[in-house]
């Protein structure tokens, strides 16, 4: 239970969060670079402009604070003009358009996507263990023996940002002393300058570096990662020495979580994830008392941030599985459960050593990255595979607009193929070509990010940037991977199986008839539509349908896995739907499995709601047949459950079944449908209703009508 003080802090955090404090940080950054600092070389201009913006950033303190540092992200003001040397987006977009003139058309039809920065974690514990003073010594020594000028510039940039962090911290000390909060001022004088000694010191050191990193890299999906794992040694020592109790530790964590939520209040889709539990480098369980405290804390607080996810190690403690089930049932749709064995196996299979793989975490939604070892293109965006298949069937004609899409080169049409294998082979070849264009786009953007966005502070906490003397996009990060989503794969698998079954195997219709039916959105073809809907789908535990689904998922995963990035990293399939289901559905015509135009698509690797006609166990059996060993970026499932049926004991059994099937990521909703419908009609009465959208949780009344409809229309499993 939360204490009276925590309840008071919660009310105050909400009040402050709702104020919409205007933020001018990015404008200050570019204005300084463009004017005051224009004479400097770009590498130094980036660091000094950051220094300038931090000096202008207002300090917010409160007499009741026991955790120092407060910042806001929700109301960033428009940038008057970008500094060209530090604006990689414009030049990168121009370079990509020049390299691929068809890019705009491909993007318009969702055949390739955008470039999303963020979605990483970093080794923040370096600040806790070394202190800023220790890190300064290490980078100063490295500067004296820098291998080249680029390395020297990197080390100098890091040193500037370490000083920026300390100057920002010192301004807080002065503010707290003026308030008479000398205890907190004294703590902030010790950390993060020096190594943390106590649990409270470690939390303070963590949070100050976190808010500064998140201003340097202000992107959703950058998160703390394994916070319980790296904070636990400090709490363990305090408990042994009698300096802290578990109850006191809970209140410290409550205040930390409230501070994170206050900073991001109102930006529900901005996800900063904490991943608790998991596995140690020696293979043993990393679950500790702080694991339970963090989950209990988020369950008790009325917050959206931070996202707290549970990693279940192999043979997880019974208490942790029970907590995971309670989190799913009573956690207000904020839970996400990750199962270590299949995720570790996928990382190891792509060449990540076990001792690195066990460090995996989600920075944001559910993308799997190795903490402190990757650059920040771990979730770049998505491609609409169902749209690719639509154009493959029609010979490149969009069913929604009736227009031909010249950039889609596989334009023969289904009717020109005499067998399924030829059709499928050409479809995969075209999808591979489109995916390669998309990944080449990331290489172009990464090259511009290397110069215009050096990210000195976060790079100082990413292996192997220090040793190489390079930032994370300059070849410094150990794993320069790109992760993205092939959206609507369950729908694509169902449609392909329907084509194989109806056109080529059973001769239920000709390719010409099927194509005509799709163009008519099945008007006048209702009998054929009924036959197509009756064909077995991925999700009903049919071995043939599941085998083709596994083939489809595997072939699309290989499109990422076989790509080598500009610094020798790999592509990583990250399979989730996030908030893109309505957008993807809006461009889709009717599909060969009998789905009408515009109908919503499936979530992640979960079978489509209309396909799960045999219940959740059958659906999990189908899911278990997918090649999870290829999903190195993570594969999410969405199991929405009837609240009248989903008891803790039943959900415990479902989680165990899910793990037995060797699936990766479990999430879902348990809110009754009647409550969702009432929230649409009376939003003022449901301000605190939180739902799981897909990779993130949000207040239902803040969602668009399209996203509300997406949540409402999902299948709710019951007896």
pLDDT one-digit tens code per residue, 682-711: 999 999 999 999 989 999 999 999 999 999
Angle formed at CA 697 by CA 692 and CA 698, multiple of 5 degrees: 110
Share of residues in the chain with pLDDT > 90 (%): 98
Prediction pTM value: 0.97
- Give every CB contact of residue 537 below 8 A, 6+ residues apart in sequence: 494, 497, 545, 593, 607, 608, 610, 611, 613
Judged against a pLDDT cut of 90, whether residue 357 lies above it is answered with yes
Q: What pLDDT is recorded for position 191?
A: 98
Identify the bridge partners of residue 482 per DSSP, sorted by sequence position: 377, 571
Answer whether 41's CB lies under 8 Å from 339's CB: no
Domain ranges of the chain: 377-448+462-615
Answer whether 483's CB lies under 8 Å from 572's CB: yes
| Token representation of residue 439 | 């990944």
What is the rounded end-to-end Cα distance, in angstroms, of the chain?
A: 33
Answer whether 491's CB lies under 8 Å from 170's CB: no
Q: What is the average pLDDT score of the chain?
A: 97
pLDDT band at 435 (very low <50, low <70, confident <90, very high): very high
Judged against a pLDDT cut of 90, whether residue 719 lies above it is answered with no
Chain position carrying tokens 């207000």: 332
pLDDT in tens, 36-72: 999 999 999 999 999 999 999 999 999 999 999 999 9
Average pLDDT over residues 546-572: 98
pLDDT in tens, 387-396: 999 999 999 9
| Token representation of residue 573 | 């399939």
Q: What pLDDT is recorded for position 73?
A: 86
Answer whether 632's CB lies under 8 Å from 350's CB: yes
Q: What pLDDT is recorded for position 585?
A: 98
Share of residues in the chain with pLDDT > 70 (%): 100
| Cα separation, 607 vs 593, whole angstroms | 13
Q: What pLDDT is recorded for position 319?
A: 98
Q: What pLDDT is recorded for position 205?
A: 98
pLDDT in tens, 637-646: 999 999 999 9
| Cα separation, 505 vs 250, whole angstroms | 61
| Token representation of residue 429 | 């070849």
Closest to 563 measured CA to CA, from 380, 428, 429, 439: 439
Answer whether 50's CB lies under 8 Å from 216's CB: yes
The tally of CA atoms less than 13 A away on the side-chain side of residue 591 is: 28
Answer whether 380's CB lies under 8 Å from 442's CB: yes
Answer whether 214's CB lies under 8 Å from 73's CB: yes
- Using DSSP, state whether 680 is helix, strand or coil: helix
- Give every CB contact of residue 560 below 8 A, 6+ residues apart in sequence: 435, 439, 482, 483, 484, 570, 571, 572, 573, 633
Q: What pLDDT is recorded for position 60?
A: 96
């Amino acid at each position: 239970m939360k204490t009276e003080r925590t309840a008071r802090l919660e009310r105050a955090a909400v009040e402050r969060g709702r104020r919409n404090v205007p933020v001018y940080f990015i404008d200050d950054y570019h204005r300084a670079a463009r004017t005051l600092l224009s004479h400097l070389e770009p590498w130094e201009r980036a660091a000094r402009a950051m220094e300038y913006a931090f000096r202008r950033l207002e300090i917010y303190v409160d007499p009741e604070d026991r955790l120092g540092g407060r910042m806001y992200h929700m109301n960033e003001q428009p940038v008057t003009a970008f500094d060209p040397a530090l604006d990689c987006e414009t030049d990168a977009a121009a370079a990509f358009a020049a390299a691929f003139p068809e890019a705009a058309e491909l993007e318009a039809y969702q055949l390739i996507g955008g470039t999303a920065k963020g979605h990483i974690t970093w080794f923040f514990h370096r600040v806790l263990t070394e202190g800023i003073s220790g890190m300064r010594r290490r980078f100063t020594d490295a500067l004296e023996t820098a291998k080249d000028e680029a390395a020297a510039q990197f080390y100098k940039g890091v040193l500037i940002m370490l000083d920026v962090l300390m100057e920002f911290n010192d301004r807080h000390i002065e503010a707290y002393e003026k308030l008479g909060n000398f205890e907190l001022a004294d703590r902030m004088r010790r950390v993060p300058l020096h190594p943390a000694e106590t649990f409270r010191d470690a939390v303070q050191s963590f949070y100050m570096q976190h808010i500064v990193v998140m201003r340097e890299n202000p992107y959703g999906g950058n998160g703390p990662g394994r916070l319980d794992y790296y904070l636990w040694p400090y709490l363990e020592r305090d408990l042994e020495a009698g300096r802290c109790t578990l109850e006191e530790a809970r209140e410290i964590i409550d205040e930390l979580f409230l501070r994170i939520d206050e900073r991001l209040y109102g930006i529900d889709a901005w996800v900063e994830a904490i991943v608790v539990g998991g596995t140690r480098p020696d293979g043993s369980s990393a679950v500790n008392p702080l694991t339970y405290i963090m989950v209990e804390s988020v369950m008790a607080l009325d917050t959206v941030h931070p996202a707290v996810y549970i990693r279940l190690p192999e043979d997880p403690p019974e208490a942790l599985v029970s907590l995971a089930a309670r989190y799913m049932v009573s956690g207000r749709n904020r839970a996400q459960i990750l199962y270590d064995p299949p995720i570790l196996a996928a990382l190891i299979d792509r060449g990540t050593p076990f001792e690195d793989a066990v460090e995996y975490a989600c920075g944001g939604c559910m993308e799997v990255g190795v903490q402190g070892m990757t650059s920040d293109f771990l979730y770049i965006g998505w491609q609409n595979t169902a749209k690719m298949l639509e154009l493959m069937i029609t010979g490149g004609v969009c069913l929604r607009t009736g227009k031909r899409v010249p950039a889609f080169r596989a334009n023969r049409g289904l009717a020109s193929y005499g067998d399924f294998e030829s059709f499928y082979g050409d479809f995969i070849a075209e999808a591979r070509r489109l995916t390669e264009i998309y990944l080449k786009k990331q290489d172009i953007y990464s090259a511009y990010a290397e110069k215009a966005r050096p990210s000195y502070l976060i790079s100082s906490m990413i292996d192997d940037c220090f040793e190489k003397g390079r930032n994370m996009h300059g070849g410094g990060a150990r794993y320069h991977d790109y992760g993205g989503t092939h959206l609507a794969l369950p729908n694509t698998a169902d449609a392909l199986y329907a084509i194989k079954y109806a056109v080529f195997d059973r001769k239920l219709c000709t390719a010409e008839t099927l194509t005509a039916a799709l163009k008519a959105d099945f008007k006048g073809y209702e009998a054929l539509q009924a036959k197509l809907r009756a064909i077995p789908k991925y999700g009903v535990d049919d071995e043939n349908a599941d085998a083709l689904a596994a083939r489809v998922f595997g072939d699309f995963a290989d499109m990422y896995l076989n790509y080598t990035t500009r610094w020798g990293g790999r592509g990583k399939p990250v399979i989730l739907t996030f908030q893109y289901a309505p957008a993807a559905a809006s461009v889709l015509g009717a599909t060969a499995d009998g789905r009408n135009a515009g109908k919503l698509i499936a979530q992640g690797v979960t079978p489509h709601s209309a396909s799960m006609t045999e219940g959740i166990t059958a659906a999990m059996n189908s899911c278990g047949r997918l090649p999870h060993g290829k999903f190195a970026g993570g594969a999410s499932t969405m199991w929405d459950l009837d609240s009248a049926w989903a008891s803790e004991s039943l959900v415990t059994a479902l989680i165990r079944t899910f793990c037995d099937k060797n699936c990766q990521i479990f999430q879902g909703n348990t809110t009754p449908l009647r409550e969702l419908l009432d929230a649409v009609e009376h939003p003022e009465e449901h301000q605190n209703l939180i739902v799981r959208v897909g990779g993130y949780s949000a207040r239902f009344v803040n969602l668009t009508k399209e996203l509300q409809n997406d949540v409402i229309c999902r299948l709710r499993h019951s007896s």
